[in-house]
Structure 1
Amino acid sequence: MAEVAQRSGPPPSWSDIPWDLAGHVLRLLPACADRAHFAAVCPQWRAAARQLALPPPLPLVALPDGTFYSLPYGKPFRFPGFGCAGYKIAACGSWLVFPRDDGCFLVDPFAGATVELPALSRVRLRPPNAVAKYTTVEGAMGRLCHPYVTWMHLKDMDNVPMIRKLILCSPNLVAAFVGIGRTSQILVCQPGASSWSVRANDPCNIFEDMAFYQEKLYALSHYEDLTVMNIGQHPRTGDPQVSQIGKVIRSDRVVLPLDGICRKKLYLVESRGTLLMVRRKVYLREINDMILAGRSEFEVFEADFKHSQWVNVTALGDDQMLFLGRWCSRAVSASQNGMSGDLIFFLDDMQDVRNYTFEDTSVSVYNMRTSEVSSPLPMVWKHQMIPASWLFPWN
């Protein structure tokens, strides 16, 4: 019997697997944590994870205590070298917003990048000579804003305007809702600039969400009106500023009662080249003199710009999922992550009602095909961590 030929040289190493095979493995790992573990094996695998063209991973859930969850796992983790604790809000995409004195700065925990933003005390008015106007009405207590509330009136109030929502639209444009209570105005700036820009005489609004869509900024009001803003440049500094503004959709102003049996939250999301408004209804119940959040229902509408209206859609499609949050919402491919479409993942992040579980909260999923809500993910955190946000590593 012939002797078996001895293999010459050392056995092949796992680090030498072909890149096409590495790409096949990575495409089977939709979780951000799994891809990070793959990249940590050796320099060759790390290079493959960074350089291969891969579908985006599933988003992370970030909590303000510095912990993160990687879907679909229920074990929290932290980023090495930067705790991420204490963020104020998320700036949509991969950025977290941290307060600093009178301003804030952005941090991308994936890239370790930081972006400085101007202080809210440094706002360039347009026009520069804008002033707050008031009128006195017989029988009214105090002065009334005339003809409506503007940025100049917000500045006159005792409370300090705060950032309600912020998005990094592009490397050269940041937009924010800044206001007091539910009333706010839209400010824009360039990262690293010395000041914000505001149209000081425009009416403030109860803005719910905004999105940067086809190189224009869109803002959605509580009354479901959609406003579009064209962004221009300051003639001397080149800093961004709102050059034109107008209503593109005037809704039928369906407003749910703030203290009735349900409340609503609106989201603005781009999905496959269309702009969607998602209306979430949260039904309330009273237990021991406390108002608690119960079941949620969702309706999805597409912006029909030609006819200036919202058109109801009953399905997202087999390949689309939505991830909704107060700070950040995105549409994600379902098939690339081995999941079903027509799913809406949402966070219980409404500020004015307590979660029905009293102490704990989590990620819930609404199925548009069955209208059922489930909580299949094994991640749970204390309800005090309500500013939880989605983070999308590929931005």
Structure 2
Amino acid sequence: MWAINFHRVTPHPKHRHFAPTTTAISISIDWFWRRRHCPSWTDLHPELVGLVLRRLPSFADRVRLGAVCRSWRRVARQEPLPPPLPWLTLLDGSFISIPSGEIHRMHVPNDVFIHGSVGQWLLLRRLSGKLELMNPFSKNVIKLPKSANPCPTNSILYKLVSLSTPQDLSLNSLFVVLTTSMVFKSVISICRPSASIAFRVPDGEIRDIIFCDGKLYALSSNKLFVLEIGSSYQGKPSISSMKCVSYSVKNVMIDRSIDDKSYHCVYWSYLAEYNGKLFQVRRLVGFLSTLPTKDRIKNTRTFSFEILELDMTINSPNKWRRLDTLGNQALFVGTNTKFLPASECGDQKDCIYFVCDDEHGIWDADLFRDSGVFNMRNGTITPLLLDKPFVRPRGYGGCPTWFFPTALYSSIV
């Protein structure tokens, strides 16, 4: 450090307020020395930047860190990171972080309804009924054939799964689209952008579909099916068989007394995959038995969850085995249910995150009227968001859906 000596000079009283003191000069010199000799943030070792990134569960915060300088951006793009907390895709085309409620806006067409996601691709339904996938970061679009939606004006449930990894989606990828009509008849369409074939489910309504360990599964109210996918001589995809591999408790209306009040309840079922294993998520929802019919949908609430694992070694028609814990996993339930390692992504372990995903709902109802975090250990439900945002309705159709961003982009506002 420089050795600089000062002696105090007493100024004329007239100019006393203009004369810098020794203390002020010392502070100025010290600041100047630090500015010249302290390392820049850009010189921070890449390993330290990587440590900071891994401690940021927010996808948006990771993008902001990468935008500081080129060296940090390079680390952000190359560092192997745990999955961040997902976003919620809202009906007005915006995205929201949990639990902060921070809103991010990216362009989504105005004439679409959002019905889920596959990786970083959103499943969109145009007003005409046509289905397409859009990456909100790159703006790339994959249009599905018109026949992928056999009931364009009469469907209330849409679900898409990819038989390719989300990172490898292309015009040659094979997709499976589930649509269910208002009379609860389901159609499973196997398609690629150039061709498709529709398979009308003989069992009636299908609640969910999933691709797990190389097999396509479909869940009805009380059966689990495996579908065999093949190709015709013309190269069109086809479903060659549909086989029941397990039964389960049928989802029927039941009466429950909760907090000394009478509720009409039913289980909603979802399928999830983790490490090649198949799980069924049963969500108990209900409404007060005294409510008039017109108010029941708006006042439906979630009470609890059950997790079942498929175990083909069970010597019984019902091969679902109940689990009491998720371990160190967190589960995000919706049209694209997914497990994430809680210890890495920053969410609560052994907890289930859920939103109101009832597509039979009323278009102007509160989108967060039935959302929260269910703790598997003590059975409590806590709020999903610190503050609920106002979401502008976009007409009938669609529901909030989980969106799982992975790669870092600089296009977030």
| Selected match of 2:310 from 300, 303, 307 | 303
What is the aligned partner in structure 1 of residue 406 from structure 2? Answer: 394
Pair 1:339–1:349, CA change in 2 (3 A): closer
What is the aligned partner in structure 2 of residue 218 from structure 1? Answer: 217
Pair 1:204–1:379, CA change in 2 (3 A): farther
SS at match of 2:80: coil
Higher deviation after alignment, 165-174 or 28-37: 165-174
Taking the aligned partners of 2:55 and 2:349, their CA distance within structure 1 comes to 17
Q: Is the 8 A contact 1:185 1:204 kept in 2?
A: no
Pair 1:305–1:160, CA change in 2 (3 A): same
Aligned length: 351
How far is the alpha carbon of 1:174 from its aligned partner?
A: 0.9
Matches for 1:81-160 after TM superposition, within 5 Å: 82-83=107-108, 85=110, 86-100=112-126, 101-120=128-147, 160=154
What is the aligned partner in structure 2 of residue 293 from structure 1? Answer: 300
| 1:304-332, Cα deviation, whole Å (9 max, x unpaired) | 12335111111111x1010001x211000
What is the aligned partner in structure 2 of residue 74 from structure 1? Answer: 101
What is the aligned partner in structure 1 of residue 181 from structure 2? Answer: 180
SS at match of 1:281: strand
Matches for 1:5-44 after TM superposition, within 5 Å: 12-44=39-71
Pair 1:359–1:58, CA change in 2 (3 A): closer
Taking the aligned partners of 1:162 and 1:362, their CA distance within structure 2 comes to 19
How far is the alpha carbon of 1:8 from its aligned partner?
A: 12
| Selected match of 2:332 from 288, 302, 323 | 323
How far is the alpha carbon of 1:7 from its aligned partner?
A: 9.2
Higher helix share: 2
Structure 2 stretches of 5 or more lacking a match?
5-32, 256-262, 408-413
Taking the aligned partners of 2:227 and 2:52, their CA distance within structure 1 comes to 43
Q: Is the 8 A contact 1:97 1:107 kept in 2?
A: yes
> Does 2:324 correspond to 1:314?
yes
Q: Is the 8 A contact 2:301 2:370 kept in 1?
A: no
Taking the aligned partners of 1:28 and 1:61, their CA distance within structure 2 comes to 21
Taking the aligned partners of 1:379 and 1:62, their CA distance within structure 2 comes to 16
The letter for the 2-side match of 1:273 is G
Taking the aligned partners of 1:186 and 1:8, their CA distance within structure 2 comes to 65
Pair 1:296–1:169, CA change in 2 (3 A): farther
> Does 2:252 correspond to 1:255?
yes
Q: Is the 8 A contact 2:129 2:149 kept in 1?
A: no
| 1:206-252, Cα deviation, whole Å (9 max, x unpaired) | 111111101111111122x1111122233332x43223321111224
Q: Is the 8 A contact 1:87 1:96 kept in 2?
A: no
What is the aligned partner in structure 1 of residue 158 from structure 2? Answer: 164
Higher deviation after alignment, 271-280 or 327-336: 271-280
SS at match of 1:112: coil
Higher deviation after alignment, 54-63 or 248-257: 248-257
Taking the aligned partners of 1:22 and 1:211, their CA distance within structure 2 comes to 37
| 1:99-124, Cα deviation, whole Å (9 max, x unpaired) | 3435221112134322111012798x
Taking the aligned partners of 1:7 and 1:76, their CA distance within structure 2 comes to 38
Q: TM-score, normalised by structure 1?
A: 0.79
Taking the aligned partners of 1:66 and 1:368, their CA distance within structure 2 comes to 32
Q: What value does the CA root-mean-square deviation take over the aligned residues?
A: 3.2
SS at match of 1:207: coil
SS at match of 2:105: coil
Taking the aligned partners of 1:199 and 1:271, their CA distance within structure 2 comes to 27
Higher deviation after alignment, 34-43 or 23-32: 34-43
Structure 1 stretches of 5 or more lacking a match?
124-153
Q: TM-score, normalised by structure 2?
A: 0.75
Taking the aligned partners of 2:51 and 2:113, their CA distance within structure 1 comes to 36
Q: Is the 8 A contact 2:326 2:350 kept in 1?
A: yes
What is the aligned partner in structure 2 of residue 332 from structure 1? Answer: 340
Taking the aligned partners of 1:93 and 1:117, their CA distance within structure 2 comes to 17
